[in-house]
A and B are shown apart, each in its own frame.
Chain A
Amino acid sequence: MPGATIAVRGLTHSYGSGSRRLGVLDGLDLDVEAGGYVAITGASGAGKSTLLSVLGGLDAPQAGQVVVGGHDLHALSRNRLADFRRDTVGFVFQHFGLLDTLTALENVALANTLKGERAAVGRRKALALLDAVGLADRAGHQPAALSGGERQRVAIARSLVNRPQLLLADEPTGNLDDDSTGVVIELLESLPADQGCTLVVVTHDHRLAARAERRFRLDAGRLLDTSVPGSVADTTSSSAGSAS
């Protein structure tokens, strides 16, 4: 399945109300072609996670248009949005987002379970993905028994179980040591080619950002293209993406 294209126009998002209103995204534009690998950096509180939430349908866009894989997210109902997240998007969180009470295998199979597919099918897919991330032998372990790097690899396996067109990773190496960071970076980097999905990574990790085809910095609610050394463009286009 080809990766999802992303087209964001005039995305505005804020928190709070009245005098306490805090603007986070301010008329942001972004274009990412299918199969692209984009990294977004920025200061803490700049709105990187908010942007990721909106792109992944976790949060509704307050103003502007967000079209992912042909889905206008503003037009989707809550149920359709849930289906969109399940079928189109895969998430990788900084905190891993694994359910403590489930084993690695069950965590990976969970997204498949939500689809209503048979448990045996889900387990088979999950085991194959765990094998792909080198954790087949840890399938029966609960997250507490895994290292940080292993947990993140399980989370990556889970994000791929429904073959998403778009993979969104929020600080995927934020809680990892150097060795684990290296493993996760290699794994993420291989996904656009191996899985054919579009990859958007929010990160503070320069090593991870440096591996992306396109890099943006989120500042004052807008994206600044930092892909070309020494240049910051207001309007940039490339094979991987463009932003303003």
Chain B
Amino acid sequence: MRWRAAIALATKGLRRRPGRAVLTVLAVTLASALLTALLTISTTAETRVLNELAKGGPLAGIKVAAAQPDPAQIDQDNAQPGAPKDLDEAALARIRALPSVRDVIPVVSTRMLIVAPSENRDGDLVDPYLDTVVGVDIGSVPNLPVTLVQGRFPAAGSLVEAAVTEGYLQRFGLTRTDAGQVIGTSLQMAAPQAFRNGDQVNARGRWIKVQIVGVVAQEAGDGQILVPAEQIQVAREWSLQGIADDRFDTSTSPYTGLFVVADGIDNVGLVRNEITAVGYATSAPENLIASVRRYLRVVEIVLTSIGSIALVVAALGITNAMLAAVRERRREIGVLKAIGSRDRDVRRVFLVEAAALGFVGGVLGAFTGLLISRFVGGVVNGYLAEQGLRGVQLEVPVVTMAATVVGATVLAVLAGTLPAIRAARLPAREAVGAV
């Protein structure tokens, strides 16, 4: 018998007892939905937790400071840098050429005088203050541990746009939920240049006015203002044209730091060691991430086990339904054999019936599970929004859904094997059924 004929016979066989078929499929659907929902929620939670740990950047991200490494701390997540050491183009090229390094993003920063024409919540004017302004290649922002709270990042290469951090908001007594209040406002920044005026050292500034276009969640380096790297380059050149002045702490290092992305979380330690060997201090939350991942893995195993147990229970339901079908269809099986079916033909028909129950239940369950996880995600996002936190992003778990469908089908085939063997072994005389 060809597969096509077996499928046609199996389909008709299932229609024979539609109520039983529907209930069996329902059991598989519920189990598959539970498994899909649990795995989707678990995966989303893992992504969210790890994203928080990596501060929105890649998990395999490593911060490199313009400083020498402290040998005693090279294995620690938040290793303190040693003595300052310039990070120049040559060092950048060496680090970029290291094995297992996927990307290297330079970070530049400089101290600037900030004049924000805003009042704080009490109505008092905020005094001008010195702060570190951080510059990065805006095109590389997706690979940096920086995420938007509201608004957008400055346009690449723009000299008139900036983003600020939550620390900046706090200067005005604002929280992240008030981020919209600063977007669209302007501030003035002055790159200082010290110069000798007789016996005195005075300072003058190169003033620029920028518009705040976004608020970011993490501190951009050590500063509260994030601008395109070109802005910092211009400011640094101006400051370095003056004489040295401790008040402005203008580093001679061309780069303040680097953000290095390893080609996998498992290679972070290796890359850190290599960068240490080059002579620079690094930090990365690799130990914390590894520890959290272990815990999340345990949670995932527990949830998968719960879903799998439900699926096994559903599979037992398939076995039960199929055994009942074999009992009821003894004469039909006998007739099939009387007209020439081989054992394998009968076995094939019943296995296809079992597979169909598993497949249909698996497909329905996978989509139902997706709907359930979306519903749960919506409830969670509502809670997070109330807390002023960013919501979770629930993606369509294609792999999980496909695995659920395949798993349900395979399990159903296994569950149908015993009834199929029993059906195949029934003697052909069942067709006559009498002495």
Residues of A within 8 A of B (CB): 15, 22, 24, 45, 47, 49-50, 52-53, 56-59, 78-79, 81-83, 85-87, 91, 93, 95, 97-102, 110-111, 113-116, 119, 158-159, 162, 170
Contact A99/B332 with A58-B432, A59-B428 known, Cβ cut-off 8 Å: yes
Q: Which A residues touch B247, using CB under 8 A?
A: none
Chain B 322-340: CB-based contact to A (< 8 A → 1; otherwise 0): 0000000001101111111
**Chain A CB within 10 Å, residue with most, of B16, B331, B337, B434:** B434
Q: Is B13 an interface residue (CB 8 A)?
A: yes
Q: Is B427 an interface residue (CB 8 A)?
A: yes
Contact A78/B343 with A93-B335, A99-B335 known, Cβ cut-off 8 Å: yes
Q: Residue of B at shortest CB range from A79?
A: B342
Q: Is there contact, CB below 8 Å, between B435 and A15? A: yes
State the CA gap A192–B332 with chains docked (Å). Answer: 27
State the CA gap A78–B337 with chains docked (Å). Answer: 10
Q: Which of B335, B342, B434 contacts A97 (CB 8 A)?
A: B335
State the CA gap A91–B337 with chains docked (Å). Answer: 11
Chain B 415-435: CB-based contact to A (< 8 A → 1; otherwise 0): 000000000000111011011
Q: Is B2 an interface residue (CB 8 A)?
A: yes
State the CA gap A138–B13 with chains docked (Å). Answer: 22
State the CA gap A56–B342 with chains docked (Å). Answer: 15
Q: Is there contact, CB below 8 Å, between B340 and A85? A: yes
State the CA gap A52–B429 with chains docked (Å). Answer: 10
State the CA gap A67–B397 with chains docked (Å). Answer: 63
State the CA gap A25–B1 with chains docked (Å). Answer: 34
Q: Is there contact, CB below 8 Å, between A45 and B435? A: yes
Q: A219 to chain B: closest CB distance in Å?
A: 14
State the CA gap A98–B431 with chains docked (Å). Answer: 11
Q: B297 to chain A: closest CB distance in Å?
A: 48
Chain B 287-327: CB-based contact to A (< 8 A → 1; otherwise 0): 00000000000000000000000000000000000000000
Q: Residue of A at shortest CB range from B1?
A: A114
Q: Is there contact, CB below 8 Å, between A58 and B12? A: no
Q: Which A residues touch B5, using CB under 8 A?
A: 113-114, 119
**Chain B CB within 10 Å, residue with most, of A50, A110, A113, A116:** A113
Contact A91/B431 with A79-B342, A101-B15, A162-B340 known, Cβ cut-off 8 Å: yes
Q: Residue of A at shortest CB range from B6?
A: A113
The 3 closest A-B pairs by CB, nearest first: A86-B340, A101-B12, A97-B335
Q: Is there contact, CB below 8 Å, between B338 and A58? A: yes
Q: Residue of A at shortest CB range from B424?
A: A78
Q: A133 to chain B: closest CB distance in Å?
A: 17
Q: Residue of A at shortest CB range from B428?
A: A58
Q: Is B43 an interface residue (CB 8 A)?
A: no
Chain B 10-33: CB-based contact to A (< 8 A → 1; otherwise 0): 001101100000000000000000
Q: Residue of B at shortest CB range from A96?
A: B335
State the CA gap A22–B342 with chains docked (Å). Answer: 29
Q: Is there contact, CB below 8 Å, between A49 and B332? A: no
Contact A49/B1 with A58-B338, A58-B427, A86-B339 known, Cβ cut-off 8 Å: no
Q: Residue of B at shortest CB range from A116?
A: B2
Q: Is there contact, CB below 8 Å, between B331 and A95? A: yes
Q: Residue of B at shortest CB range from A162?
A: B340
Q: Is B131 an interface residue (CB 8 A)?
A: no
Q: Which B residues touch A119, using CB under 8 A?
A: 4-5
Chain B 159-178: CB-based contact to A (< 8 A → 1; otherwise 0): 00000000000000000000
Chain B 86-121: CB-based contact to A (< 8 A → 1; otherwise 0): 000000000000000000000000000000000000
Q: Is there contact, CB below 8 Å, between A47 and B435? A: yes
Q: Which B residues touch A57, using CB under 8 A?
A: 428
Q: Is there contact, CB below 8 Å, between B338 and A85? A: yes
Q: Which B residues touch A170, using CB under 8 A?
A: 432
Q: Is there contact, CB below 8 Å, between B342 and A82? A: yes
23 contacts between A and B (CB under 8 A): A24-B435, A47-B435, A49-B432, A49-B434, A49-B435, A79-B342, A79-B343, A82-B342, A85-B338, A86-B339, A86-B341, A91-B431, A97-B331, A97-B335, A98-B335, A99-B12, A101-B16, A110-B336, A111-B340, A116-B1, A116-B2, A119-B5, A162-B340
Q: Residue of A at shortest CB range from B2?
A: A116
Contact A91/B339 with A45-B435, A58-B429, A99-B332 known, Cβ cut-off 8 Å: yes
Q: Which B residues touch A83, using CB under 8 A?
A: 340, 342
Q: Is there contact, CB below 8 Å, between A114 and B331? A: no
Contact A53/B340 with A113-B1, A113-B5 known, Cβ cut-off 8 Å: no
Which residues 171-192 of B sit at the A interface, judged by CB distance below 8 A? none
State the CA gap A15–B427 with chains docked (Å). Answer: 14
Q: Residue of A at shortest CB range from B5?
A: A113
Q: Which A residues touch B4, using CB under 8 A?
A: 119
Q: Which B residues touch A56, using CB under 8 A?
A: 338
Q: Is B75 an interface residue (CB 8 A)?
A: no
State the CA gap A57–B428 with chains docked (Å). Answer: 8
Q: Which of A50, A97, A99, A102 contacts B435 (CB 8 A)?
A: A50
Q: B195 to chain A: closest CB distance in Å?
A: 96
Which residues 380-435 of B sit at the A interface, judged by CB distance below 8 A? 427-429, 431-432, 434-435
State the CA gap A159–B335 with chains docked (Å). Answer: 11
Q: Is B230 an interface residue (CB 8 A)?
A: no
State the CA gap A162–B339 with chains docked (Å). Answer: 9
Q: Is there contact, CB below 8 Å, between A114 and B427? A: no
**Supplied contacts A82-B342, A98-B335, A116-B1, 20 more A-B pairs, CB within 8 Å:** A15-B435, A52-B432, A53-B428, A56-B338, A58-B428, A59-B427, A78-B342, A78-B343, A79-B342, A83-B340, A86-B339, A97-B331, A101-B12, A101-B15, A102-B12, A110-B336, A111-B339, A113-B2, A114-B339, A119-B4
